[in-house]
Amino acid sequence: MSEKKLWAGRFTEPTDDFVEAFTASVEFDQRLAPYDVQGSIAHAKMLARQGIISQRERDSIIQGLEKILARIDAGEFRWSVALEDVHMNIEAALTKDIGIAGKKLHTGRSRNDQVATDVRLWLRAELVEIGTAIRRLQLALLDLAEREADTILPGFTHLQTAQPITFGHHMLAWFEMLERDDERMRDCAGRVNVMPLGAAALAGTTYPVDRHYTAELLAFDRPAENSLDAVSDRDFAIEFAAAASILMMHLSRMSEELILWSSAQFQFITLADSFCTGSSIMPQKKNPDVPELIRGKSGRIFGHLIALLTLMKSQPLAYNKDNQEDKEPLFDTADNLRGSLKVFADMLLTLQCNREAMRQAALKGFATATDLADYLVSKGLPFRDAHEVVGKAVVYCVERDCDLSDLSLDKLAGFSNVIEDDVFECLTLEGSVAARNHIGGTAPSQVRAAVMRARARLA
Ligand code: ARG
């Protein structure tokens, strides 16, 4: 216990050493320093404008805080665990530097509204970065979709060959997932951007504060309506963790596909060496560590969501110390989310498609069976009958280990007499994908049009 506590007035005994370390948050919340200073400067300006402190005191506080922040940035600030958290470390340093005026900064404010404000300012800035990272990944997907608009691979359901699709179309599916993720983040940002300051400890403050002015200075949309809610609400944090979890779930699914596709059994794609690692024992190995790690990181992000939900569950109004536990999951979520988005986009820029391997795979597994059924329907058969006819033809091919397109016209006509020699067109991979020619379909021309619409949306 080296420093005098800022709240020591009513205490007669010092804090237990272990309790001091146990309750301190400065080791992790010092990251909030720039936002703490930003919030304090706005608060000081408001106090002076309302005549609660003098103009000179305001100027001295602002200069003092700016110097402290410069010291923090330069790594020259000595953080003290005895001073518990980022807020009291900065306030104590300010008072040490500028004297009495420093002690006036906390007028009409509590650490409860202060920390809630800091976290919102921090998250608001993070959301901007995350939005930029999502966009960057989306642009990489659009480039790939355009480049591989004609590349055909088997589309799967139940991981069994279903119908031929284009690689570009697959990339656009990923794009859409991220589009919704971006919407969720933006939606969350609207609820983050509400200002707790002025709520003070829980009930508001007796000083003639102007919360609208402070909110304007900090570019918040508005002051929070209710002081009890303002200091205790962490649903904005839970919402962010939920949106981050869904985004990580998406990145995990995409990673899983990259891992499968880069395996010796698929060989659909090649990941650049710079995104893979080797094995210390098996010389032949080239492991897709980056997508595997992203897939794995989804676990910790989901964990943070559950941690935050559990942290809030059953908390009575208003502020409780439990809330100090919100920071580490939040910081870790933002850091890993940004990192995953960045590295995934970097990796996609180097991704090579092995078009021939994809094509060969699409030729196996009767990917065009539905096209044959649709052909029979176009010749007047009811769909259920057509389905039955094609099923019979597939069994015939399975027994002979060949594809539908390997059968002669005579053989095919043996399954249904409506089959003529125009059937072969619908049995080709190109014919199959080109026929799905409507908005949202896999036809190359639709992929190109979708890329154009998506680019216009992003612009
Ligand atoms: N370090 C605290 C937190 O992160 C700041 C608020 C403390 N307020 C209090 N009344 N003890 O939540």
Task: Give 166's strand partners.
Answer: 152
Max intra-chain CA distance, the chain: 101
279 classed as catalytic: yes
Which residue puts its alpha carbon closest to atom 3 of ligand 1? 324
Query: Which residue's alpha carbon is nearest to atom 12 within ligand 1?
Result: 324
- Identify the three-state secondary structure at position 166: strand
Distances in whole angstroms, Cα of residue 450 to Cα of each of 148, 440, 441: 13, 8, 10
Residue 9 in any domain: the answer is no
pLDDT of residue 2: 57
CA of 53 to the centre of ligand 1 (A): 25
User: Do 396 and 414 share a structural domain?
Assistant: yes
Q: What is the tally of structural domains in the chain?
A: 3
The pLDDT, as a whole number, for residue 5 is: 85
Domain check: are 353 and 376 in the same one? no
Residue ranges making up the domain that contains 26: 14-107
| Å from CA of 310 to ligand 1 middle | 18
pLDDT (tens digit per residue) in 332-362: 999 999 999 999 999 999 999 999 999 999 9
Query: Does 392 lie in the same domain as 269?
Result: no
Give the three-class secondary structure for 410.
Answer: helix
Give the atom of ligand 1 at the shortest distance from the alpha carbon of 25.
Answer: 1
Residue 353 bridge partners (DSSP): 269
Do 81 and 184 lie in one domain? The reply is no
For residue 217, being part of any structural domain is answered with no
Exposed (0-12), middle (13-18) or buried (19+): which is 439, by Cβ within 10 Å? exposed
Looking at the fold, whether 352 and 392 belong to one and the same domain comes out as no
Q: Has residue 404 been placed in a domain?
A: yes
303 in the same domain as 234:
yes
DSSP 8-state code for residue 277: B
Best residue among 19, 228, 317, 324 to mutate for probing ligand 1's pocket (most ligand atoms within 8 Å of CB) is: 324
Residue 453 near residue 447, CB atoms below 8 Å: no
Per-residue pLDDT of the chain (459 residues; tens, 9 = 90+): 457 888 888 898 888 999 999 999 999 999 999 999 999 999 999 999 999 999 999 999 999 999 999 999 999 999 999 999 999 999 999 999 999 999 999 999 999 999 999 999 999 999 999 999 999 999 999 999 999 999 999 999 999 999 999 999 999 999 999 999 999 999 999 999 999 999 999 999 999 999 999 999 999 999 999 999 999 999 999 999 999 999 999 999 999 999 999 999 999 999 999 888 888 888 888 899 999 999 999 999 999 999 999 999 999 999 999 999 999 999 999 999 999 999 999 999 999 999 999 999 999 889 999 999 999 999 999 999 999 999 999 999 999 999 898 999 999 999 999 999 999 988 999 999 999 999 999 999 999 999 999 999 999
CATH of the domain at 103: 1.10.275.10
* Residue 99, phi-psi category: left (phi > 0), alpha (psi -120 to 50), beta (remainder): left
Domain CATH for 446: 1.10.40.30
Residue 259 domain-assigned (yes or no) = yes
Last residue of one domain, picked from the residues 359, 384, 412:
359
Give me ligand 1 centre to Cα 110, in Å: 9
Question: Is there a single domain that holds both residue 100 and residue 131?
Answer: no
Indicate whether 146 belongs to any domain.
yes
Position 215 in a domain: no
Q: Is 157 helix (H, G, I), strand (E, B) or coil?
A: strand
According to the model, what pLDDT value does residue 75 have?
Answer: 98
Q: Residues 343, 239: one domain?
A: yes
* 36/68 Cα distance (integer angstroms): 11
Q: Do 193 and 331 sit in the same domain of this protein?
A: yes
Does residue 383 sit in the same domain as residue 289? no
Residue closest via CA to ligand 1's atom 4 equals 324
Q: Please check whether residue 434 lies inside any domain of the structure.
A: yes
Q: Which of 324, 339, 359 is the last residue of a domain?
A: 359
Q: Give ligand 1 pocket residues (Cβ under 6 A).
A: 25, 29, 85, 111-112, 115, 319, 321, 323-324
To test the pocket of ligand 1, the residue of 112, 118, 120, 330 to mutate (highest count of ligand atoms within 8 Å of its CB) is: 112
- Are the C-beta atoms of residues 205 and 227 closer than 8 Å to each other? no
Same domain, 306 and 385: no
Counting ligand 1 atoms within 8 A of each CB, the residue from 23, 26, 90, 115 with the most, and so the one to mutate, is: 115
- Residues 88, 36, single domain; the answer is yes
Instruction: Encode pLDDT of 178-195 as tens digits.
Output: 999 999 999 999 999 999
Separation of 187 CA from ligand 1 center, angstroms? 27
Residue 159 parent element (H or E): none
pTM for the model: 0.95
DSSP, collapsed to helix, strand or coil, labels residue 153 as strand
CATH of residue 193: 1.20.200.10
Closest to 304 in 3D by CA, of 379, 260, 262, 248:
248
Last residue of a domain, one of 107, 142, 174: 107
Q: Say if 7 falls within a structural domain.
A: no
158, 280, 408, 438: the active-site residue:
158
The rounded distance, in Å, linking the Cα atoms of 147 and 362 is: 19
Instruction: Please indicate whether residue 158 is annotated as part of the active site.
Output: yes
